């Protein structure tokens, strides 16, 4: 897999899981499930993972690299990379227009 595709796909998948509106109900359900749990318990760690881009990016990167071994996974990785590139370009253009 092209390293640039892997990086962009990992960034986009991480953003999809940790930040996007589409996955907000899942994150909220995880937060509710973990509410009141002891610090560093499994529930606490899962809730942290679901909200931490640095933590989640490790697992998203592993998923992207594993997906590279299957044609559908490669296609999905390319779609994620294209979406990530489009969002990056949108952010750059937005800053230039200020």
pLDDT tens digits for range 38-70? 999 999 999 999 999 999 999 999 999 999 999
Task: Decide if 30 contacts 39 (C-beta within 8 A).
Answer: no
pLDDT of 26:
97
The pLDDT > 70 percentage for the chain reads: 100
**Given pLDDT bands bounded at 50, 70 and 90, which one contains residue 98?**
confident
| Count of the separate structural domains present in the chain | 1
pLDDT of 82:
98
Measured CA to CA in angstroms, residue 66 lies from 52, 62, 89 at distances of: 21, 6, 27
- 31: its two tokens: 């937060």
Alpha carbon distance 33, 43 (integer Å): 7
**The pTM is what?**
0.90
Task: Decide if 78 contacts 40 (C-beta within 8 A).
Answer: no
For 55, the domain range is 3-96
26-39 pLDDT tens trace: 999 999 999 999 99
Find the mean pLDDT for residues 78-89: 97
């Amino acid at each position: 897999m092209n390293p640039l595709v892997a990086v962009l796909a990992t960034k986009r998948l991480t953003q999809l899981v940790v930040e996007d509106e589409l996955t907000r109900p899942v994150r909220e359900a995880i937060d509710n499930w973990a509410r009141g749990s002891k610090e560093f318990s499994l529930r606490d760690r899962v809730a942290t993972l679901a909200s931490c881009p640095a933590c989640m990016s490790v697992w998203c990167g592993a998923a992207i690299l594993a997906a590279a071994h299957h044609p559908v996974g490669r296609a999905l990785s390319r779609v994620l990379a294209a979406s990530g590139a489009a969002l990056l370009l949108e952010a750059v253009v937005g800053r230039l227009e200020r």
